[in-house]
């Protein structure tokens, strides 16, 4: 090595004196390379030697000495990074350091790992050891990957589908743009390696985000290393700062959403926070994006048409309502965003180009919001927006005056629409208009109802919903999430009064707590329904993580069930036992949920004519 070092220093010195530059690059010009060779002591061998002879002999010596150095360095790095217990794994490390191996050597090196397709696994490993950008150091990437490959394969071996896990690892890593940075991180922070493998093996949802959005290495590393929860206020403030002064919000919003999904999903995979907090943060991200789009579209609309005004000259305001899971601040991955739009009243806006009535003004405004949120672009779709929960459904106007909204729910709405209204929440409104709309909603929810009629309509609606789905549907099937939601919404409608606004929580968890505190749920019902909702929302979230689609049906394939069980932290060593434990919990939770549904929606003889219980007394005994 000392001889090689002196040789390289001599070449470096001659390069710098010849070209009067602080350079370490061999010249590419043939004549300059020939001159360098001669000055380094490689004169022409004879008058008849080809002009490239001196350069060829210099390059041959250079390659011979540096290749020997590289072999020494390879094994030095290998030995420095390997733990004592990993010495037996040297064959797989040699696959990385010396890729030109025989098929027999490849098969022997990968034999300890349960790959179904060893050739594909081998190609994936070679790709992981190779930078996809030529300007990045290939040697550095290869050495750092060799240092962690044994631990990486150990983690891959623990996954339900090692072939799929390694394939996802290769695709995700290729999209990030600087593999050596990751391998160096994993070498000094083994827990981050374990999480990375779990992310690629257990979440096609997160993997596809990273694969389809190249260059997210900083976002991924932040998620792997930083354990942080974000408040709704912080999320909105960060997005507002990113959008300040921007003309085209599309790329900013998409990048922000993806970054937040990676952060939230990574914490979810690790089980760092309960499903209730995961769904809340997903909803807070959607809230921030909807509100940002609403503000931007409003600014553009008033620049175009002027400010809409009421007949008395006051500025006409508007509100964006979220219903469904977003309204409850419990959105899931791939969750639809249910929106309803309300404006203050009739009137008109005036600008230099003429006047426009408020109905047209706000309809144009809503359409621009819906385009920004839900249109397909080359970057994809921000959110799948559903506006069918608005008054009169798909046949109704996109936005409705507040007074028309009030009268619709008072005189026209159906049972399912009134139940859906329990989830309504204002996500954007100027000034105090949000409070005005919220008060109008609570006024409708607290109005007296015919409890007997409401009960029978709710039961009939639930029966139709259940019949429309398969038996493996965890959301709408027997004992699924819909049973719990129907229980909550029914009890809210029956028991809410102007004096008990605390019952009107849009979030199912919060509503269960409020109903228990008010005495409309016994302790056992409250505990079992909460536990069931925790389990079922977690199950749904993991299904969507696993398949990257809006899935609510349990898989029938044993391998898919095992992946689901592992993703939900059923860590029994025997795969069959893990699947059996998952199935047992599914059956137990759905049976208990359906039992409470049947008991709580039965016909009670001690209700008054309005359908409300005469008092809160003895509720514990009636529902226990």
Query: Has residue 438 got a pLDDT over 60?
Result: yes
For the chain, which residues make up each domain, given as ranges?
A: 2-81, 84-226, 275-445, 451-623
Q: Among the listed ranges 85-94, 119-128, 322-331, 461-470, which one has the minimum average pLDDT value?
A: 85-94
Q: CA-to-CA distance for 308 and 306, rounded, in angstroms?
A: 6
- What percentage of the chain carries pLDDT values higher than 70? 88
- Smallest CA-to-CA distance from 345 within 306, 313, 316 is with 316
Give the bridge partners for 81, in sequence order: none
The number of CA neighbours under 13 Å toward the Cβ of 134 is 0
Query: Has residue 185 got a pLDDT over 90?
Result: no
3-state SS assignment for residue 108: helix
CATH of 84-226, one of 1.10.8, 1.20.120, 1.10.287, 3.40.50: 1.20.120
Fold of 275-445: Beta Polymerase; domain 2 (3.30.460)
Q: How many CB atoms neighbour CB 374 within 10 A?
A: 17
Residue partners of 510: CB distance under 8 A and separation at least 6: none
The 10s digit of each residue's pLDDT in 287-345 is 999 999 999 999 999 999 999 999 999 999 999 999 999 999 999 998 899 999 999 99
453-461: Cβ within 8 A, 24+ apart: 453/611, 454/415, 454/490, 454/493, 454/494, 454/611, 455/490, 455/601, 455/603, 455/611, 457/415, 458/415, 458/419, 458/486, 458/489, 458/490, 458/601, 459/601, 461/415, 461/416, 461/419
DSSP 213: S
Backbone phi, psi, residue 347, to 5°: 150, -155
DSSP 475: T
CA-to-CA separations, 443 to 406, 409, 422, 551, in angstroms, rounded: 9, 10, 11, 36
Fold of 451-623: 1.20.120
Query: Has residue 16 got a pLDDT over 80?
Result: no
What's the distance, CA 618 to chain centroid? Answer: 45
Give the bridge partners for 319, in sequence order: 342
The 10s digit of each residue's pLDDT in 214-229 is 888 778 878 777 767 8
pLDDT average, residue stretch 572-600: 93
Query: Which element (helix H / strand E) includes 319?
Result: strand 318-323
3-state SS assignment for residue 101: coil
Query: Has residue 82 got a pLDDT over 50?
Result: no
Q: Among the listed ranges 169-178, 264-273, 548-557, 597-606, which one has the minimum average pLDDT value?
A: 597-606
CB 314 within 8 A of CB 362: no
Same fold? 84-226, 275-445: no
């Amino acid at each position: 090595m000392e001889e090689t070092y002196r040789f390289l220093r001599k070449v470096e010195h001659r390069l710098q004196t010849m070209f009067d530059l602080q350079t370490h690059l061999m010249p590419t010009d043939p004549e300059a390379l020939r001159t360098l060779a001669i000055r380094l002591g490689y004169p022409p061998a004879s008058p008849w030697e080809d002009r490239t002879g001196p350069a060829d002999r210099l390059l041959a010596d250079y390659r011979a000495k540096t290749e020997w150095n590289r072999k020494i360095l390879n094994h030095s790095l290998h030995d420095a990074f390997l733990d004592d217990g990993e010495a037996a794994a040297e064959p797989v490390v040699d696959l990385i350091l010396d890729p030109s191996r025989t098929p027999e050597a490849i098969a022997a090196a990968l034999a300890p790992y349960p790959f179904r397709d060893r050739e594909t696994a081998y190609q994936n490993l070679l790709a992981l050891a190779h930078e996809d950008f030529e300007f990045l150091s290939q040697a550095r990437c290869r050495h750092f990957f060799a240092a962690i490959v044994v631990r990486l394969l150990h983690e891959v071996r623990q996954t339900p589908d090692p072939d799929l896990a390694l394939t996802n690892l290769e695709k995700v890593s290729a999209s990030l743009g600087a593999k050596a940075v990751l391998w160096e991180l994993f070498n000094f922070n083994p827990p981050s390696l374990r999480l990375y493998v779990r992310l690629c093996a257990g979440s096609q949802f997160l993997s596809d985000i990273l694969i389809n959005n190249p260059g997210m290495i900083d976002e991924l590393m932040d998620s792997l290393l930083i354990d942080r929860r974000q408040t709704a206020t912080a999320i909105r403030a960060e997005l507002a700062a990113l959008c300040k002064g921007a003309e085209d919000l599309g790329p900013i919003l998409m990048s922000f959403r993806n970054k937040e999904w990676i952060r939230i999903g990574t914490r979810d995979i690790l089980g760092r926070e309960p499903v209730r907090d995961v769904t809340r943060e997903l909803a807070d991200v959607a809230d921030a994006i909807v509100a940002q789009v609403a503000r931007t579209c409003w600014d553009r609309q008033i620049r175009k048409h002027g400010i809409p005004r009421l007949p008395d000259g006051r500025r006409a305001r508007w509100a964006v309502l979220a219903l469904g899971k977003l309204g409850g601040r419990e959105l899931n991955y791939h969750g639809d965003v249910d929106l309803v739009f309300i404006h203050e009243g009739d009137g008109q806006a005036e600008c230099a180009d003429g006047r426009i009535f408020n109905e047209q003004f706000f309809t144009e405004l809503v359409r621009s919001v819906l385009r920004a949120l839900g249109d397909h672009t080359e970057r994809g779709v921000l959110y799948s927006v559903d506006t069918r929960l608005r008054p009169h459904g798909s046949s109704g106007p996109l936005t409705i005056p507040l007074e028309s909204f009030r009268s619709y729910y008072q005189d026209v709405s159906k049972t399912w629409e009134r139940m859906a209204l329990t989830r309504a929440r204002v996500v954007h409104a100027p000034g105090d208009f949000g409070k005005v709309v919220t008060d109008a909603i609570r006024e409708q929810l607290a109005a007296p109802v015919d409890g007997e009629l409401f009960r029978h309509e709710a039961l009939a609606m639930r029966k139709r919903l259940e019949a429309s789905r398969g038996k493996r549907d965890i959301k709408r099937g027997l004992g699924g999430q819909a049973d719990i939601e129907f229980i909550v919404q029914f009890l809210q409608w029956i028991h809410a009064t102007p004096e008990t606004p605390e019952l009107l929580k849009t979030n199912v968890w919060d509503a269960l707590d409020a109903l228990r505190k008010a005495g409309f749920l016994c302790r056992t019902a409250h505990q079992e329904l909460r536990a069931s909702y925790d389990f079922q929302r977690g199950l749904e979230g993991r299904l969507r993580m696993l398949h990257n689609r809006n899935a609510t049906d349990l898989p029938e394939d044993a391998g898919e069930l095992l992946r689901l069980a592992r993703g939900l932290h059923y860590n029994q060593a025997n795969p069959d036992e893990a699947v059996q434990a998952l199935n047992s919990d599914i059956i137990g939770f759905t049976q208990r949920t359906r039992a409470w549904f049947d008991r709580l929606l039965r016909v009670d003889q001690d209700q008054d004519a309005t359908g409300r219980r005469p008092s809160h007394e003895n509720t514990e005994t009636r529902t226990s």
